[in-house]
Amino acid sequence: MPNTVLVTGGAGFIGSNLVRYLLRTAPALRVVTLDALTYAGNLESLTDVAAAHGPAGDGRHWFVCGDVRDAGLLSALVGGTLREAGTDRTVPAPDAVLHLAAESHVDRSSLGPSAFVETNVVGTQVLLDAVRASLAAEPRPFRFVHVSTDEVYGTLAPDDPPFRAGTPLAPNSPYAASKAGADCLVRAYGETFGLPVLTTRCTNNYGPFQFPEKLIPLVITRALADLPLPVYGDGRQVRDWLHVEDHCAALWAVLTRGRLADRVYVIGGEAERANLDVVRGVLAALGKPESLITFVRDRPGHDRRYAMDISATTEALGWAPTRRFEDGLVATVQWYQAHEAWWRRVQSEAYRAARSLYLPG
């Protein structure tokens, strides 16, 4: 059981849900969030965490605004010498890392791959080096969990068996290629330097606090405004969907019960759905007409189908998804209806003003 977990990318969609999940699940755990606050990082997704667990709460959460490519910062953060801003205390050294910081949007990766290589590949290497140096200077029990994606496996035909951990990597988008590059580095640091690393590869997540450029929140927020809903190609691309809370539970299981010898755990929701059916599900939940659907030219290199065989993960960790997709989708639609201020401030970019959770300005 770790004492202090460093969560990189903790102001993003999965990261903010994960920080909340960790602090709720492990009452003695301390969590340090590192995030560069790119367009995808949103401190307003951590407002409740800051109130309950920041200095005015039980003091178990720290927020550090910084870039995973910043070797000096990472060395101080992992080594436990980073000064807490505005105090003479240091941020506690982690004995576990959950690495989520990444450029994550596939469409953006075709427009500008270099940011993806920089953050996802180079950033992962810088973080691994910081952990390696810290463990060499101060050997201690440690776990490094790298959070990756099913997209590294490429695409499946309709009748292909689902991906398993050992399926060969065949990434098709620059995003997927950059994640596969990071996966290979993580593996290599385990092999070459004996770092205690594990990699998870998860299918599509959905749930609260997802940036409204991704399919489900995009469709919800546009449908609420009666705007056309762009659907790529014929809409028959199949994705496997997992509620973000179930993903958080899986990451906690991997962190606390994962076996280093297993190297890779695949995570999924056993809920294969065509994109068009997901869009229809949102419209049904909102009582909006399907005439809002507008088919647009397909994304280049668009993978046709992802699916995951999670039996080995379930057997090894005792973890399994708990939410039916249709129930989780309705709950997610209701969350966006109830949190209009959150996504309106994302749309207007007002959320970008905040750079610090605990200091004014």
Ligand X SMILES: NC(=O)c1ccc[n+]([C@@H]2O[C@H](COP(=O)([O-])OP(=O)(O)OC[C@H]3O[C@@H](n4cnc5c(N)ncnc54)[C@H](O)[C@@H]3O)[C@@H](O)[C@H]2O)c1
> Exposed, middle or buried, 361 (CB in 10 Å: 0-12/13-18/19+)?
exposed
The nearest distance, CB 187 to ligand X, in angstroms, is 16
Angstrom CA distances, 132 to 196, 241, 255, 293, stand at 10, 34, 18, 50
Q: Of the listed 21, 175, 206, 306, which one is catalytic?
A: 175
The nearest distance, CB 341 to ligand X, in angstroms, is 19
CB of 254 closer than 8 Å to CB of 101: no
Site track 103-142 with ligand X (rule: CB under 6 A), x = hit:
xx--------------x---x-------------------
Q: Is 37 a residue that touches ligand X (CB under 6 A)?
A: yes
Three-class SS state of 53:
helix
**Spatial separation of the C-alpha atoms in residues 313 and 302, rounded to whole Å:** 27
DSSP element (H, E) containing 64? strand 61-65
Alpha helices in 138-195, H assignment, sequence order: 174-193
Which residues within the stretch 295-354 sit at the binding site for ligand X (CB under 6 A)?
none
Q: Which of 7, 46, 67, 154 binds ligand X (CB under 6 A)?
A: 67
Residue 19 φ/ψ, nearest 5 degrees: -60, -45
Q: Is 145 a residue that touches ligand X (CB under 6 A)?
A: no
Q: Of the listed 35, 95, 151, 303, which one is catalytic?
A: 151
Q: Is 254 a residue that touches ligand X (CB under 6 A)?
A: no
The nearest distance, CB 287 to ligand X, in angstroms, is 27
CB of 325 closer than 8 Å to CB of 271: yes
The nearest distance, CB 63 to ligand X, in angstroms, is 11
CB of 36 closer than 8 Å to CB of 6: no
Q: Which residues contact 224 (CB under 8 A, 6 or more apart)?
A: 286, 336, 337, 340
**Spatial separation of the C-alpha atoms in residues 331 and 207, rounded to whole Å:** 8
Q: Would you give the end-to-end CA distance of the chain in angstroms?
A: 36
CB of 352 closer than 8 Å to CB of 236: no
**Spatial separation of the C-alpha atoms in residues 66 and 333, rounded to whole Å:** 32
Site track 179-208 with ligand X (rule: CB under 6 A), x = hit:
x----------------------x-xx---
Q: Is 36 a residue that touches ligand X (CB under 6 A)?
A: yes
Q: Is 9 a residue that touches ligand X (CB under 6 A)?
A: yes
Q: Of the listed 35, 103, 129, 150, which one is catalytic?
A: 150
Report which DSSP code applies to 173.
S
142 vs 209 by CB, closer to ligand X: 209
| 118 counts as catalytic | no
| 150 counts as catalytic | yes
| 265 counts as catalytic | no
182 vs 231 by CB, closer to ligand X: 182
CA angle 38, 244, 14 (to 5 degrees): 20
The nearest distance, CB 334 to ligand X, in angstroms, is 20
45 vs 134 by CB, closer to ligand X: 45
Q: Is 5 a residue that touches ligand X (CB under 6 A)?
A: no
Q: Which of 142, 153, 189, 211 binds ligand X (CB under 6 A)?
A: 211
Q: Is 246 a residue that touches ligand X (CB under 6 A)?
A: no
> Exposed, middle or buried, 145 (CB in 10 Å: 0-12/13-18/19+)?
buried
Chain residues binding ligand X by CB under 6 A are 8-9, 11-15, 35-38, 40-41, 67-69, 100-104, 119, 123, 147, 149, 179, 202, 204-205, 211
Active site residues: 150-151, 175
